[in-house]
Chain A
Amino acid sequence: MVSLLPLRAPTAPSLTAVLIGAQAKEHLIHLSAVDGFIIASYFAFVVFIGFYVKDRSKTSSDFFLAGREMSAWIAGLSFMSANLGSLELMGWAGSAYQYGLLAAHAYWIGAIPAMLFLGIVMMPFYYISKTHSVPGYLHLRFGSAARGFSAVTFALMTTLMSGINMYSMALVMKVVLGWDINVSIWLSSLVVAGYVALGGLRSAIFNEILQFVLIWAGALLVPILGMIEVGGWGNLRRNIEVNLGRSDYMHLWSNLGTFSDNPMGVHWTGIVLGWGFVLSFGYFTTDFLVIQRALSAHSLRAAKMAPIIGAAFKMMVPAIVIIPGLLALSVLPFHLLPESVAVATGGHSYNEVLPLMLVRYCGPGLIGLGVTALIAGFMAGMAGNVSAFSTVWTYDIYRAYFKPRASDSHYVSMGRWSTVVGVLISVGTAYLVQRSTSIMDYALQLFSFFIAPLFGTVLLGMLWKRATNAGGFWGLLAGTITSIGLWLWVYRVPSALRYVALSPDAKGMAENMYRALWAWIVCVVVTIVVSLLTKPRPTAELAGLVYGASRLPAAEPAPWYESPMLWAGVIFVVFIAINIVLW
């Protein structure tokens, strides 16, 4: 899955243009035999793991929820890894070069509060309801209409995002290594389809652990050597101020008082409400791609700890993504360019900042490790989407509407086949997005269309007993229509952006945030109004689904230092401290 909110929506490149540009200039990295060996070893390992766990994926619980026997660490690292997809590594490093430290909001306010909220408040209901998916929870809470709507939109979104991951990977391999784009797409597809179809969620999770370690092993050396070269954080800040002639690149909050005072063209209300609240909470608390990892945990406490452990590592990702982008502003002897300009002039674009920094500091062997880290990130994101698609398709569409009473082995078989079909659809999507004018804008629109209203529905479903089936469905539908309608309005009448994003100075990034906020508000208001006008469900039916109607099971005995609340508190304090220090 793509990380939430890649930033360059307003200036995101035409993929076709990128491709043309990539073909026009020589690729960045020449691999040695050692590098080739390292990359080939990685591919061999991930396929091997698929075969290794295959014989333990015979039941539907094994295949779709990894037998619900994962430790908190494995579920947590997998949660984190599935979220560390292709747009994450390359996109945000480029965004850091373009927007400075503001890009780090993606990892802090755009992730940490939501992940902690999921672990502490929402995970108990997902876990104790014993549902297989988020649409499955909606079925229990709001009935089949809400479930069907969210299942279809989720399946659409995951295949599209998987295709975007796939195409991004192929594009990077083309730009960085000169590999043929078709070979990259089909090779990565076959490998991911192979290991997910063989071992189901367990195979995907185990490979995500491998990918998590490799991403850090391959990418961490760049900020370490970069910081040695510039002489520490203070020098980095001074160099950037001198090179750019402005001081607003190294602050998180102090330049967000107006839309025009920061490189991103956004106001702090958009960051906090649109991004930090609606989109971030929406993604982390309702996107089944990540929640499926936490649901695989062996106990309620482990399930609660999974997103909290994920949050701890999420908070550190700027070290390998944002800092290289900032270092590039300080040490590169040339300026990176917007994609369209790079294509026209033959220069390097923002997107290439991470491989450029890799080449700067790494020789044979380390280059191979760094490229493996990028590939691992791409494959983790792709596998996450495909395994989530397989589960939602099998449980919430196929079993719900086509074949409700088949044997368990039939559903496992359907899971394996739908994995392959999901990958094939993703391949088709990967070719489709080549025609898109802006891949990142497309991804953001999807989030605001489907994730933001879903968050309103799930939140009210879990916290408000009075919410009814009709309220849940109509609220979700109204929020989705609102979001798509606002997008169409600005698409047809660009000047409407001033109304959607509340300022004539707003840029596309702000539009995505505010559109998500409006969609969420409409969803919540409609859900409340319709619920108050319709007959409430008896409280007894809501046991295990809603706060106030459920008795949560007592936590398993554990020492105080394993308390989810304790670690959520520690992480939240560190999160606040980072924001103050970098204010």
Chain B
Amino acid sequence: MVSGKRPIWFFVGLLLLLYGVVILSVGLWEIPFPPAHPPVLSQLHAPIWWGGLLGVLGAIFVARNRRRLE
């Protein structure tokens, strides 16, 4: 796409990885310290599995697109 630059998928992965780590951390924090007003279905711990999924996807995107384009 742009020679000498990293593909856009690298930055997509970076942002997903960042968001995944942050949301997963919040989910883990909420196990010992649950929020005062938990959302519906909070027992499913959505931040943990959704944050984890985003983080894994982000890591895959970053790893696969880390090289600059020729």
The residues of A with any CB-CB pair to B shorter than 8 Å are: 34, 37-38, 41-42, 45, 49, 52-53, 56, 67, 69-71, 74, 202, 206, 209-210, 213-214, 217, 221, 225, 228-229, 359-366, 369
Contact = CB atoms under 8 A, between A and B. Distances in A.
B18 A363 contact: no
A217 B16 contact: yes
Contacts of A363: 26, 30, 35, 38-39, 42, 47
B50 A42 contact: no
B1 A70 contact: yes
A210 B47 CA distance: 21
22 contacts: A67-B2, A69-B1, A69-B2, A74-B1, A206-B8, A206-B11, A213-B15, A217-B16, A217-B54, A225-B40, A225-B46, A228-B41, A361-B39, A361-B40, A361-B46, A362-B46, A363-B47, A365-B22, A365-B23, A365-B26, A366-B46, A369-B23
B27 interface: yes
A369 B19 contact: yes
Given A229-B40, A362-B46, A365-B26, A38 B19 contact: yes
Contacts of A210: 8, 11-12, 15
A555 B13 CA distance: 33
Contacts of A364: 26, 35
B51 interface: yes
Contacts of A56: 2, 5
Nearest to A331: B40
Contacts, number: 83
B11 A362 contact: no
Given A221-B50, A229-B40, A359-B39, A45 B15 contact: yes
Contacts of B23: 365-366, 369
B36 to A, nearest CB: 11
Given A363-B35, A364-B26, A225 B41 contact: yes
A228 B22 CA distance: 25
Contact of A365 (B1, B44, B47): B47
A49 B2 CA distance: 13
A69 B9 CA distance: 15
B8 A74 contact: yes
Given A41-B19, A225-B41, 13 more contacts: A45-B15, A52-B11, A53-B2, A67-B2, A74-B1, A209-B8, A225-B44, A361-B39, A363-B26, A364-B26, A364-B35, A365-B51, A366-B50
B40 A202 contact: no
Contacts of B27: 365
B15 A42 contact: yes
A40 B38 CA distance: 24
A229 B41 contact: yes
A558 B1 CA distance: 19
Contact of B2 (A202, A229, A359, A360): A202
Contact of B1 (A45, A71, A217): A71
A6 B25 CA distance: 38
Interface in B10-65: 11-12, 15-16, 18-19, 22-23, 26-27, 30, 35, 38-42, 44, 46-47, 50-51, 54
Given A360-B39, A362-B46, A49 B11 contact: yes
A361 B35 CA distance: 13
Interface-centre pick from B8, B42, B50 (highest chain A CB count, 10 A):
B8
A196 B11 CA distance: 17
A235 to B, nearest CB: 15
Contacts of A217: 16, 19, 54
Contacts of A366: 23, 46-47, 50
Contacts of A214: 15
Contacts of B5: 52-53, 56
Interface-centre pick from B39, B41, B44 (highest chain A CB count, 10 A):
B39
B12 to A, nearest CB: 5
Contacts of B54: 217
A165 B44 CA distance: 35
Contacts of B44: 225, 228
B16 A34 contact: no
Nearest to B38: A363
A53 B9 CA distance: 14
Nearest to A208: B8
Contacts of B42: 363
Given A228-B41, A361-B40, A363-B39, A221 B46 contact: yes
Given A34-B26, A359-B39, A362-B39, A45 B46 contact: no
B59 to A, nearest CB: 14
A359 B12 CA distance: 26
Contacts of A206: 8, 11
A167 B5 CA distance: 35
A360 B23 CA distance: 17
Q: Give the 9 A-B residue pairs with the shortest CB-CB distance, closest first.
A: A365-B26, A365-B23, A206-B8, A209-B8, A363-B39, A56-B2, A213-B12, A360-B40, A361-B39
Contacts of A362: 39, 46
Contacts of B18: 41
